[in-house]
């Protein structure tokens, strides 16, 4: 297994996504970057193509800004096996 949440590069990526100031890619609303990280509407980085499917953890093109709540809601709703054609490659 590749190492996953490898501290520094990942944090750099987060900072970069944050700097872009994009709205949440899941609900389309702005993200208040000043909120406490534990706040449901705080900023998180979500991955367009999940890491479990070969998505790159550190590729800015694969990273999207998302609210914490949207991110986790999506995680709950979309079970890995029920998302589209399972074997599709990008
Ligand atoms: Zn959202």
Distance of CA 25 from the midpoint of ligand 1 (Å): 7
Q: Which residues pair with 43 in a beta bridge?
A: 67
Neighbour count for residue 69 (Cβ, 10 Å): 16
pLDDT at position 39 = 97
Q: Residues 14, 64: contact at Cβ < 8 Å?
A: no
Question: How far apart are the CA of 63 and the centre of ligand 1, in A?
Answer: 14
pLDDT tens digit sequence for 35-83: 999 999 999 999 999 888 999 989 999 999 999 999 998 765 544 444 4
The pLDDT, as a whole number, for residue 18 is: 95
Residue 27 CA, ligand 1 centroid: distance in Å = 4
Domain extents for the chain?
A: 7-78
Q: Which residues surround ligand 1, an ion (CB under 5 A)?
A: 24, 26-27, 67, 70
Picking from 51, 61, 52, 49, the residue whose alpha carbon sits closest to that of residue 90 is 49
The sign of the dihedral angle between the CA atoms of 60, 26, 8, 36 is positive
Q: What was the pLDDT predicted at 87?
A: 56
Name the fold adopted by 7-78: DNA Binding (I), subunit A (1.10.30)
């Amino acid at each position: 297994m590749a190492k996953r949440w490898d501290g520094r590069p990942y944090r750099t990526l987060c900072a970069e996504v944050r700097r872009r100031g994009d709205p949440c890619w899941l609900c389309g609303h702005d993200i208040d970057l000043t909120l406490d990280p534990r706040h449901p509407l705080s900023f998180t980085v979500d991955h367009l193509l999940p890491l479990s499917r070969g998505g790159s953890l550190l590729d800015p093109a694969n990273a999207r800004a998302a609210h914490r709540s949207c991110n986790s809601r999506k995680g709950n709703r979309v079970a890995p096996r029920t998302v589209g054609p399972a074997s599709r490659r990008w």
